[in-house]
Amino acid sequence: MQINRTASAHWTGGLKDGKGLISTQSGALTDYPYGFASRFEGIPGTNPEELIGAAHAGCFTMALSLILGEAGFTAEHMETSAKVTLESVEGGFAVTAIHLSLSGRIPGADEATFTELANKAKAGCPISKALAAVPITLDVKLA
């Protein structure tokens, strides 16, 4: 099975004064603004790192749901945040770390089991695999 998803970016202008628009095939984002100011100066709009974080948190949590089910558990609630770190390094900027923070209510699971299964999901989710060049850390809290 092969699944293809598409997204696009449109840009006009220079780096600092330019403006971009991001769109996704699903329509979840349609001509959503991004640019230098939203990436580096906290101005409203999105940025590539935020989008990577959303994709990673979503993929990881979905993968964990599968792994929990295979282990006989069903999540009552799970919440994952992803902190994507962009830093100035020699030669420019780079994503240098991703930290996933997970909390969840999993009836019947103890903290050690939840942590073990979450680490399995972190290693196996397709977005984690795609981002393997970046150190990915995880903290887990059973609510």
Beta bridge partners of 82: 100
pLDDT at residue number 42? 87
> What six digits make up the tokens of 132?
């393997």
* CATH numeric code, 46-140: 3.30.300.20
Give the domain ranges of the chain: 5-39, 46-140
Q: Is the pLDDT of residue 134 over 90?
A: yes
- Paired sense of beta strands 92-105 and 77-89, if any: antiparallel
Number of H helices, E strands in the chain: 4, 6
Dihedral sign (CA 77, 138, 122, 32): positive
pTM above threshold 0.85: yes
Q: Which two tokens stand for residue 84?
A: 């994507």
* Tens of pLDDT, residues 16-42: 999 999 999 999 999 999 999 999 998
82-117 confidence digits (pLDDT tens): 999 999 999 999 999 999 999 999 999 999 999 999
